[in-house]
């Protein structure tokens, strides 16, 4: 009987600690492993970041914030990007050069990027990687809904030699 009593107590503590841990990581903040080169030179692949989820309840996201968001093109993937513009801000978008212009004999259309001004809609943000040449971001898929943002990056904690607030 003593064994069952101890086992029951152990199970209660295990369930309680699991619930506390789950709530902490789901509602307060967590640790994120950054993968890929899109945020270089600010963040490098395999950096570990400390993030928080509480401030969205009393503070709006600001340009310059680094956030973890659900990818708008693959819901199973998280992305780490910097907010460049928020609702109502104007962005200048460089549209890709049309293929027919690239291969036509005309030199007028060759290599002239098309720049378009647009506004970020209400409830959306414009995100970009710091490594502009190697980042799929809002320049590719447009502004993302604020609801896709999972957390805001507070600091890099690994490698310890590069630990710093962001």
Please name the residue ranges forming H helices in the chain: 2-23, 99-103, 138-141
Q: State which residues form the domain around 11.
A: 2-165
* C-alpha span between 81 and 126 (Å, rounded): 10
CATH (domain of 57): 2.10.109.10
Q: Which of 35, 55, 81, 151 is catalytic?
A: 81
What pTM did the predictor assign? 0.77
**Does the active-site annotation cover 81?**
yes
Task: Report which of 101, 139, 149, 136 is spatially closest to residue 118, judged by C-alpha positions.
Answer: 139
Question: Which parts of the chain are beta strand (E)?
Answer: 29-34, 47-52, 66-70, 78-86, 90-95, 114-119, 124-128, 144-145, 149-158, 164-165
What are the structure tokens assigned to 151, written together?
């957390």
Q: List the pLDDT tens digit at each of the 166 positions of the chain.
A: 788 888 888 999 999 999 999 988 888 889 999 999 999 999 989 999 999 998 888 888 999 999 999 999 999 999 999 999 999 899 888 765 555 555 555 555 556 677 888 899 999 999 999 988 888 888 888 899 999 999 999 999 988 888 888 7
Say how many domains are in the chain.
Answer: 1
In degrees, rounded to 5, the angle at the alpha carbon of residue 48 between the alpha carbons of residues 84 and 161 is 105
Which is the catalytic residue, given 5, 38, 95, 111? 38
For residue 100, the model assigns a pLDDT of 57
Residue 37 phi, psi dihedral angles, 5° rounding: -95, 5
Residue 3 has a pLDDT of 82
CB-based contact 76:155 (threshold 8 Å):
no
DSSP state of 147: G
Q: Which residue has the tokens 């209660």?
A: 12
pLDDT for the residue 99: 54
DSSP string, 90-107: EEEEEEPPPHHHHHSS-S
Q: For residue 120, what pLDDT is reported? A: 92
pLDDT at 165: 81
């Amino acid at each position: 009987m003593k064994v069952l009593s101890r086992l029951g107590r152990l199970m209660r503590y295990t369930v309680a600690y699991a619930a506390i841990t789950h709530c902490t990581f789901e509602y307060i903040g967590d640790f994120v492993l950054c993968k890929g080169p899109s945020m270089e030179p600010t963040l490098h692949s395999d950096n570990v970041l400390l993030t928080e989820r509480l401030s969205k309840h009393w503070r709006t996201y600001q340009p310059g914030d680094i956030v973890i968001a659900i990818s708008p093109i693959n819901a199973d993937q998280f992305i780490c990007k910097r907010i460049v513009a928020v609702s109502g801000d104007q962005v200048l978008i460089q549209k890709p050069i049309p293929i027919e212009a690239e291969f036509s004999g005309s030199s007028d259309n060759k290599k002239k990027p098309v720049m378009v001004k647009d506004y970020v809609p209400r409830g959306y943000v414009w995100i970009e990687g710091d490594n502009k040449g190697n980042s799929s971001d809002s320049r590719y898929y447009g502004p993302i809904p604020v609801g896709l943002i999972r957390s805001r990056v507070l600091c890099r904690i690994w490698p310890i030699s590069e630990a710093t607030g962001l």
